[in-house]
Amino acid sequence: MSASPSVSGKASEAYDVVVVGAGFAGMYMLHKLRGQGFSARVYEQGDGVGGTWYWNRYPGARCDVESMQYSYSFSDELQQEWDWSERYAPQPEILKYANHVADRFNLRPDIQFNTTVERTDFNESTNLWSVALSDGKTVIAKFVVLATGCLSNARMPEIKGLDSFEGKVYHTGHWPHEAVDFTGQRVGVIGTGSSGIQSVPVIAEQASHLTVFQRTANFSIPARNAVLSEEERQSFRAKYPEVRHFARVESRNGIYTEMPDRGALDDGDNERRSKYEARWNRGGLTFMSVYNNLGLDKTANDTAADFVREKIAEIVEDPETARLLQPTSHPIGTKRICFDTEYFSAFNRPNVTLVDIKSNPIEEITANAVRTGGREYEVDALVLATGFDAMTGSVARIDIRGRNGQALNQKWAEGPRTYLGLMSAGFPNLFVITGPGSPSVLSNMIVSIEQHVDWITDCVSYMRGRGFEAMEAKKDAEDNWVAHVNEVAYATLYPTANSWYMGANVPGKPRIFMPYIGGVGPYRQICNEVAAKGYEGFAMVGTEQPRKMAAS
Ligand code: FAD
Ligand code: N01
């Protein structure tokens, strides 16, 4: 431990910064802070780095932003040297990459694994946080950074009888480390979001029978995964400066692609269809950016949704199964769109059955079956692909107490409130990476993570340089930002869907559109302008005199 002069004398362990979580956000945060001479300690509840890619080990798990882009950009050597094997790397390879980064930048000595941050309290007289850990210790920090992840709190469904099931139960977001082999088993998958859609075709190949329990049909586009040749990697690497610049500054979602120049209704039927066909054949995330109004105009959106529904009907042989798989409950893209490898065609296999649990909700899970519509579907194992308490779930698990002992959970009881998604009024020196109110989950998240980490590092360096003790979002700045986030969201079709973006997947969770939909490039510009104006909208406490922190 390297105790910081600024915080020493308060506890046996004291740091400039405590970082919670060792996913891509926590790892880069640590690297940046150390580079600026801050003492930092990362606490991670798992026993390894990688976050999402440490926990989500289900069959078929892989990224759906292309790996050449879904990767750190902060080290050119790293991006030039790392060889991604496929267009979308599988989970084990992304986890290997995270471990490589941890070793390459010697991060492990400052990460304490198997340790959960349980509670953190702000002391108004010292302007320091005390951080209570699951190992019984309490450490002191000037700043706390929540790198706890937006999709890190796996949600068990509330289904009667689940506990009485005698076979194995797996959650995709909490998958065992040892290989799971479903060969010869009857498997039930509950949930048809991205995790279900990725795992179904792989489990179908192993299981003697697979029953998929679908509550809401989802839009999915073929990923068109493929092995990357050395030539492809090299040509991509050569254009990295342009790719990364575009993703950060010009894009809306952190992805390098063509920008649409027209709306869907500006083209005639044939032209529009051929554009959708081209994107369908290309595969991947750029399907929704073929036109600039698919997220804004329902009639425009319908043209894309109809196209995908037709594709499903072409692929799936049984007309009734095809009908059930055609999404009708929400405009395309307003729930996180999925990308698949042979998902719809998996339902043509004789060993795969689709069960509609929208019309006939699951009544009960028994010792060996799922009962719905008065019928029992016998299964040996259950896969719960039921998603996460997204964006706020992992923050809420920590008892965070700010000024006057106020609990963050209490403040956010009606929905999260932040300024720029980075800080919440009443909680000084507490940052959130990709928090609610920032583009986060609507983007290539590594781009958004790097932007937040860079901004936070600049900010704490600025404070150190001027001797500020504490920084806090002002209430009016926060109110204005929350209003802006809502205004932008409600100008789109997104809030019309019962999505996890809206908190709709968690019973009782307030319905708020949580991410900022204004776009990655414009958002970065706003953050930069705020910083350039001396952190406008934030209150700084302390004298404006240079003061030393650790190693400065
Ligand atoms: P995480 O990776 O979630 O890491 C947070 C860490 O914090 C976890 O390890 C957790 O254990 C730890 N933690 C939380 N609370 C505590 C606590 N109280 N104490 C100690 N430790 C704690 N995004 C994309 O942009 N492109 C993709 O293709 C993509 N694919 C995805 C696929 C899956 C299956 C999932 C679930 C998500 C995907 N995402 C994708 C989103 C993904 O979560 C982010 O891209 C990114 O990995 C998040 O990194 P993070 O460090 O912010 O959070
Ligand atoms: O979770 P989800 P996910 N009874 O919430 C159903 C990222 N990700 O893990 O829609 C029955 O999307 C639920 O039904 P409904 C990505 O950002 C990326 O799949 O609520 N069913 C839904 O079908 C993604 O969006 C990749 O009606 C229940 C499903 O379970 C996010 O993580 C891969 C139920 C949950 O879908 C979350 O994806 C994986 C219940 N009680 C994840 N409760 C990539 O490909 C829930 N459901 C990069």
pLDDT digits (tens, 9 = 90+) for 131-160: 999 999 999 999 999 999 999 999 999 999
How many angstroms is it from 375 CA to the middle of ligand 1?
Answer: 38
Provide Rg for the chain, Cα atoms. Answer: 24
**Does some domain include residue 382?**
yes
| C-alpha span between 73 and 330 (Å, rounded) | 35
Report the CATH number that the domain containing residue 498 is assigned in CATH. 3.50.50.60
**Does some domain include residue 270?**
no
Report the percent of the chain where pLDDT is more than 70: 96
Residues 78-125 pLDDT 10s = 999 999 999 999 999 999 999 999 999 999 999 999 999 999 999 999
Q: Both 205 and 348 in a single domain?
A: yes
Kindly state the average pLDDT of the residues 295-302. 98
Is the beta carbon of 334 within 6 A of some atom in ligand 2? no
Q: Which ligand is nearest to the CA of 388?
A: 2
Atom of ligand 1 nearest to the CA of 46: 11
286 falls in which pLDDT band (50, 70, 90)?
confident
546 falls in which pLDDT band (50, 70, 90)?
very low
End-to-end alpha carbon distance in the chain: 16
| C-alpha span between 139 and 120 (Å, rounded) | 9
| C-alpha span between 439 and 15 (Å, rounded) | 29
Which two tokens mark 419? 């300024």
Residue 256: pLDDT over 50:
yes
Q: Both 367 and 511 in a single domain?
A: no
Q: Which residue has the higher pLDDT, 549 or 350?
A: 350
| C-alpha span between 264 and 287 (Å, rounded) | 12
Residue 338: pLDDT over 70:
yes
| C-alpha span between 391 and 462 (Å, rounded) | 28
543 falls in which pLDDT band (50, 70, 90)?
low
Question: Strand (E) positions, 30-104?
Answer: 40-43
Q: Both 377 and 526 in a single domain?
A: no
**Which pairing describes strands 138-146 and 430-432: parallel, antiparallel, or unpaired?**
parallel
Q: Which residue in the block uniquely carries the two structure tokens 């403040």?
A: 411
Measured CA to CA in angstroms, residue 103 lies from 18, 100, 283, 365, 394 at distances of 20, 5, 34, 45, 26
Residue 197: the pLDDT is 98
Structural domain that includes position 72: 7-153+390-541
Nearest CA to ligand 2 atom 10: 216
- Tell how far CA 168 is from the center of its chain: 27
How many angstroms is it from 156 CA to the middle of ligand 2?
Answer: 11
Phi and psi, residue 365, nearest 5°: -105, 130
Q: Both 451 and 537 in a single domain?
A: yes
Question: Strand (E) positions, 393-504?
Answer: 399-401, 430-432, 470-473
Q: Both 406 and 534 in a single domain?
A: yes
What amino acid is encoded at 323 in this protein?
Answer: R
Residue 473: the pLDDT is 98
Q: Both 15 and 97 in a single domain?
A: yes
Q: Both 375 and 434 in a single domain?
A: no
Residue 150: the pLDDT is 98
HEC secondary structure over 509-552: CCCCCCCCCCCHHHHHHHHHHHHHCCCCCEEEECCCCCCCCCCC
**Does some domain include residue 269?**
no
Q: Both 22 and 136 in a single domain?
A: yes
The model's pTM is 0.96
Report DSSP state, residue 388.
B
**Does some domain include residue 313?**
no
**Does some domain include residue 277?**
no
Pick the closest to residue 204 from 186, 222, 229 (CA basis). 186
Split into its structural domains, the chain has a count of: 2
Residue 550: pLDDT over 70:
no
CB 338 within 8 A of CB 216: no
CB 110 within 8 A of CB 44: no
Residue 92: the pLDDT is 98
Residue 518: pLDDT over 90:
yes
Which two tokens mark 480? 């204005």
Which two tokens mark 378? 């016998």
Residues 201-235 pLDDT 10s = 999 999 999 999 999 999 999 999 999 999 999 99
Q: Let me know how long the chain is.
A: 552
- Picking from 387, 416, 431, the residue at the C-terminal end of a domain is 387
Which two tokens mark 411? 């403040």
Q: Both 344 and 468 in a single domain?
A: no
CB 160 within 8 A of CB 363: yes
Report DSSP state, residue 288.
G
| C-alpha span between 236 and 238 (Å, rounded) | 5
Buried b (16+ CB within 10 A) or exposed e, 75-95: eeebbeebebebbbbbbebbb
Question: Strand (E) positions, 56-204?
Answer: 111-112, 117-123, 128-133, 138-146, 168-171, 186-190
Kindly state the average pLDDT of the residues 351-366. 97
Residues 383-394 pLDDT 10s = 999 999 999 999
Is the beta carbon of 440 within 6 A of some atom in ligand 1? no
The torsion defined by the Cα of 64, 69, 71 and 74, in degrees rounded to 10, comes to -160
Q: Both 360 and 454 in a single domain?
A: no
Residues 470-510 pLDDT 10s = 999 999 999 999 999 999 999 999 999 999 999 999 999 99
| C-alpha span between 517 and 246 (Å, rounded) | 18
Is the beta carbon of 63 within 6 A of some atom in ligand 1? yes
Q: What does the DSSP assignment read for 226-283? A: -BPPHHHHHHHHHTHHHHHHIIIII-SSS---PPP-S-GGGS-HHHHHHHHHHHHHH-
Q: Which residue has the higher pLDDT, 539 or 1?
A: 539
**Which pairing describes strands 362-365 and 399-401: parallel, antiparallel, or unpaired?**
unpaired
How many angstroms is it from 390 CA to the middle of ligand 1?
Answer: 10
Report DSSP state, residue 86.
B
Pick the closest to residue 159 from 328, 359, 369 (CA basis). 369
Residue 375 parent element (H or E): strand 375-378
- Picking from 346, 366, 387, the residue at the C-terminal end of a domain is 387
Q: Both 125 and 47 in a single domain?
A: yes
Pick the closest to residue 72 from 41, 42, 104, 45 (CA basis). 104
Residue 6: the pLDDT is 45
Which two tokens mark 217? 């049909």
Atom of ligand 2 nearest to the CA of 159: 41
Q: Both 130 and 89 in a single domain?
A: yes
How many angstroms is it from 483 CA to the middle of ligand 1?
Answer: 27
Nearest CA to ligand 2 atom 5: 387
Residue 285: the pLDDT is 86
**Does some domain include residue 286?**
no
How many angstroms is it from 152 CA to the middle of ligand 1?
Answer: 5
User: What does pLDDT average to over the chain?
Assistant: 95
Pick the closest to residue 552 from 70, 2, 1, 11 (CA basis). 2
**Does some domain include residue 319?**
no
- Picking from 359, 387, 415, the residue at the C-terminal end of a domain is 387
5 falls in which pLDDT band (50, 70, 90)?
very low
**Does some domain include residue 456?**
yes
Is the beta carbon of 522 within 6 A of some atom in ligand 2? no
Residue 449: pLDDT over 50:
yes
Within 10 angstroms of residue 169's Cβ, the number of other Cβ atoms is: 16
